[in-house]
Structure 1
Amino acid sequence: MAIQHNPSANPSGVSGSTVDPAEVAKFSKLSDEWWDPKGKMAPLHKINPLRLTYIRDAACRKFERNVKSLNCLSGLRILDIGCGAGLLCEPFTRLGAQVIGIDPSATNIAAAKLHADKGHLSIDYRCTTAEEMDVRERFDIVLAMEVIEHVTDVGAFLARCTAMLKPGGLMVVSTLNRNWKSFALAIVGAEYVLRWLPRGTHQWDKFVTPDELAQHLANNKLTITDQAGVVYNPLADKWSVSSDMDVNYMVVAEGI
């Protein structure tokens, strides 16, 4: 699928795209299976409640909301970059947020729109990239969940994300650390042994260490306010938040 860049939709003057067309094509093939909890996206479905809780709690702390309220995110604008078929967009919409989900894969966006229609949810899905977004659109929260390990330039990507944050807004990033342990577990284990993911889903050299991510965020005047590892317990078949950031981890950063 060709990725078209529209300069007229980019008033900030940021040029070029950090999207890797090969990565887009890879995930487009999986779009039909996004909402099958027992299909190829099963690991994402298992980890999704943890991600939702982590982001919701961070948002409620920041914007002084009652985490127990069913509409605790009411009035907040959320941008979910690389939204896939909307696994995060839908629950955040149900919590009252105005959600914009973007993805460069037309088939992912089609799957997202279809599923949202079935659930009678109003979600603004767009087949586009962060670079093609109008920088004059600002958001309270920008999400980049399992995205930065698939872009061509992490620094440029995060700069673009930061440009779309409202003053004092939150950026939430989840990604994979780069070390021997992540290679063994996230690639050899997940793709070749357990076959949770298709082979070639990840490239180890594109993983980002916490120190590298922290530096990129600091370069964009974002301050880390929370970070946590995400670990899998094979005996319980459950993901949980941990201090162990050796493989999967999440970071919350706040803008000026």
Structure 2
Amino acid sequence: MSETKTTIDPAEVAKFEAMAAEWWDPNGKFKPLHMLNPCRLDYITAQIAAHFGRDLSDDLPFAGLRLLDIGCGGGLLSEPMARLGATVVGVDAAPRNIPVAKVHAAQVGLDIDYRIGTAEALAAADEQFDIVLNMEVIEHVADPLGFLRACYDLLKPGGLHICSTLNRTPKSFAMAIVGAEYVMGWLPKGTHDWQRFITPNELYDLLAQARLRAIDRTGMVFNPIAWSWSLSARDLSVNYVTAAVRD
């Protein structure tokens, strides 16, 4: 794969770069991710533990596993993965995100390899990982299939790919765009483009084209009464997450 080829959309990168300093403010522009993070972590840790036969009650259950967090932002997922013992590389195409992530990791005493870059550049450099996290990124790239093919190249044989995104439904338009951007003001207007949301069946098809074998898909559901997120095997109408393997 050519190192000059990229699926990055510069306009999408610019949106997140403008918000970089707010990554670790739980009441700032990334409040939705802070609220969603425990739910995401429940899914990610359970999938990794099951796939690699790890016991989450151990002190460092993911020791010996090399993990890539694509679109790492300020490190909301990279840091807990490092705490669980994984060797973590966090990559983001928005240059202003990486210094924020580095400073916060240093403040909490974590050794994380943060880099400005893309999945394609890492694949071109023949980097490989046991786990690739691709969370809330694919709806922002210019070429989803090319991006997933880079993820395939980045995985070791038998490696695990975890990808979350937003379903393209009337409900997701109402909640993720009207609700989060216009009513609640959690995200700047224009953060998401509903036309770029991907249905679960479309994502499964893209994964198959990228030679990744899908093994699970699960919804992440927001309860406005409890003001919390939970995993759902049935409700994939807004946010959902998939697990796939490179055979």
| TM-score bracket relative to the smaller structure | over 0.9
* Alignment match, 2:244: 253
Deviation at 1:203? 0.3
Report the secondary structure of 1:22's partner residue: helix
User: In the alignment, which residue of structure 1 is the partner of 2:210?
Assistant: 220
User: 2: distance between equivalents of 1:114 and 1:63?
Assistant: 31
1:95-137 residue CA offsets vs partner (Å, 9 max, x unmatched): 0000000001111001000001111111000000111114421
The corresponding residue for 2:52 is: 63
Task: Tell me, in whole angstroms, the C-alpha distance in 2 between the residues paired with 1:212 and 1:135.
Answer: 29
Alignment of 1:68-147 (within 5 A): 68-133=57-122, 134-147=124-137
Change (3 A) 1:224 1:23: same
State the partner residue of 2:178: 188
Distance in 2 (CA, whole Å) between partners of 1:217 and 1:15 is: 23
Distance 2:181 2:49 in 1: 35
Other-structure match for 1:41: 30
Identity over aligned pairs, percent: 53
Match of 1:208 in 2: 198
Q: Is structure 2 residue 147 aligned with structure 1 residue 167? A: no
Count of matched residue positions in the alignment of Structure 1 and Structure 2: 245
> Cα deviations across residues 202-243 of structure 1 (Å, max 9, x unaligned)?
001110111110001111221111111011011111000012
Q: Separation in 2 of the partners of 1:212 and 1:83?
A: 24
CA-based RMSD: 1.1
Partners of 2:3 and 2:121 within 8 A in 1: no
Q: What TM-score do the two structures reach when normalised by structure 2?
A: 0.97
Conserved in 2, the CA contact under 8 Å of 1:14 and 1:160? Answer: no
Q: Of the candidates 16, 24, 37, which is equivalent to residue 27 of structure 1?
A: 16
**Alpha-carbon distance in structure 1 between the residues aligned to 2:81 and 2:203:** 25
Match of 1:8 in 2: none
Name the counterpart of 1:5: none
Q: Matched residues in 1 for 2:5 and 2:168: separation?
A: 26
Distance 1:70 1:55 in 2: 17
Cα deviation 1:46-85 (Å, max 9, x = unaligned): 1111111211110010100002223111110000000001
Q: Which residue of 1 aligns with 2:188?
A: 198
TM-score, normalising length from structure 1? 0.93
Match of 2:167 among 161, 167, 177: 177
| Offset at residue 13 of structure 1 (A) | 3.4
Give the Cα separation in 2 of the matches to 1:40 and 1:161.
Answer: 28
